[in-house]
Amino acid sequence: MRNKIQHHFDSIAHLYDDRYDGTRGRRYHAHLSEYMMRNLVQGGRLLDLGCGTGLFVTRYIGNGGEAVGLDISRGMIRKAIERCPESDFTMASAEAIPFSDGSFDALSSLLVFSYVRSPEKMLSEAYRVLRPGGSLAICTLGKNLMTSGLPAIYHLGEVMRVRQVCVGAFGERYYHETEMEDLLRHAGFTGVRVLRCSFAHYGLIDPVFDIAKKVEPFVEKHLPSLAYNIFAVGRKPPV
Ligand SMILES: C[S@@+](CC[C@H](N)C(=O)[O-])C[C@H]1O[C@@H](n2cnc3c(N)ncnc32)[C@H](O)[C@@H]1O
């Protein structure tokens, strides 16, 4: 039986790219993706956990790598196959990855971690399927003043039957830098770095978005607690 998250993403899959591949959403998503790309082994074999409609898979293979996408939503995977027919996609949970040990050079997960029920399970699975020396990059909404009200807003959206991407009560969890760092270290990753990124959120109206985009580098460097997302990287130690 489909769980609530699967059901939601199946039902909004046809709307997803309007948000993250439209004018503002594309700039927002590209900004987060650039953080990920800079920190992953390039040109290797990537597994994208919670690949959605394949936006990051497309970006990774555009840089000369090979990529496999995994997602719990059949609807999102259908869209990913349309976008990227040359890659393989599989329907599964990031908490039970159906690949053998050491099969990937790089693991990515973009805007997914907040939905995962057991982050410990996902990270231990990520560690298992990564080859020694391989890299992991995660970008997810972080906990701060602006994001702490989101679950209540999304819950209200569900009550009011708003049918929009990511609107619903999914028990989402947002993390602090120290929590992310502890989770990655505990799973065995080394060289762990965690920082805040993004200030120009796709949800802002146009003129505000442009201003936020201009000040984004300053915010990320000097006022990171105002940034929306948390970005974490680590490596599986080489044998
Ligand atoms: C906000 S979308 C992000 C999609 C994509 N990573 C991107 O950057 O556009 C969240 C995605 O995570 C998937 N997802 C949520 N929980 C998951 C889990 N436990 N395992 C795999 N995918 C999951 C959803 O089905 C959805 O496609």
CATH number of the domain encompassing residue 70: 3.40.50.150
CA of 96 to the centre of ligand 1 (A): 14
Residue 166's region, left for phi above 0, alpha for psi from -120 to 50, else beta, is left
Is 85 part of a structural domain of the chain? Answer: yes
- The region of weakest confidence among 49-53, 82-86, 157-161 is 157-161
Check whether 91 has a pLDDT greater than 80: yes
Q: Does 125 map to a domain?
A: no
Q: What's the CA-to-centroid distance between 101 and ligand 1, angstroms? A: 22
Average pLDDT of the residues in 81-96? 97
Share of the chain above pLDDT 70, in %: 100
Q: What are residue 160's phi and psi, to 5 degrees? A: -85, 5
Give percent of the chain above pLDDT 90.
Answer: 66
Give pLDDT, residue 70. Answer: 98
Our mutation pick for probing the ligand 1 site, out of 72, 108, 113, 129, counting the most ligand atoms within 8 A of Cβ, is 72
CA dist 37 and 55 (Å) reads: 13
pTM here is 0.93
Name the closest-CA residue to atom 27, ligand 1.
52
User: What's the whole-number mean pLDDT along residues 113-128?
Assistant: 97
Residue 180: is its pLDDT beyond 80?
Answer: yes
Is 41 a member of any domain? yes
pLDDT, position 207? 84
Query: What is the distance of C-alpha 44 from the center of its chain?
Result: 19
Distance 73 CA to ligand 1 centre (A): 8
Question: pLDDT at residue 119 above 90?
Answer: yes
User: Domain total for the chain?
Assistant: 1
Ligand 1 shell residues, CB under 6 Å: 5, 9, 20, 49-52, 55-56, 71-73, 76, 93-95, 110-112, 115-116, 166
Domain contains 126: no
Q: Has residue 124 been placed in a domain?
A: no
Asked if residue 80 is part of any domain, the answer here is yes
Q: Which domain holds residue 101?
A: 4-115+134-235
pLDDT in tens, 147-160: 777 777 777 777 77
Give me the mean pLDDT over the 12-22 stretch. Answer: 88
pLDDT of residue 135: 96
Cα separation of 12 and 17, whole Å?
10
Q: Which atom of ligand 1 is nearest to the CA of 55?
A: 9
- Please tell me the distance between residue 13's alpha carbon and the centre of ligand 1 in angstroms: 11
Ligand 1 mean position to 115 CA, how many Å? 8
Tell me which residue has its CA closest to atom 25 in ligand 1. 73
Return d(Cα 94, Cα 114) in angstroms, integer. Answer: 12
Rounded Cα gap, residues 199 and 216, in angstroms: 5
- Per-residue pLDDT of 38-47, as tens digits, reads 999 889 999 9
pLDDT band, residue 32 (cuts 50/70/90): very high
> How high is the mean pLDDT of the chain?
91
Alpha helices in the chain (DSSP H): 4-20, 23-38, 55-62, 74-83, 119-129, 150-159, 177-187, 206-222
Residue 123 lies in a domain: no
* Domain-located, residue 189: yes
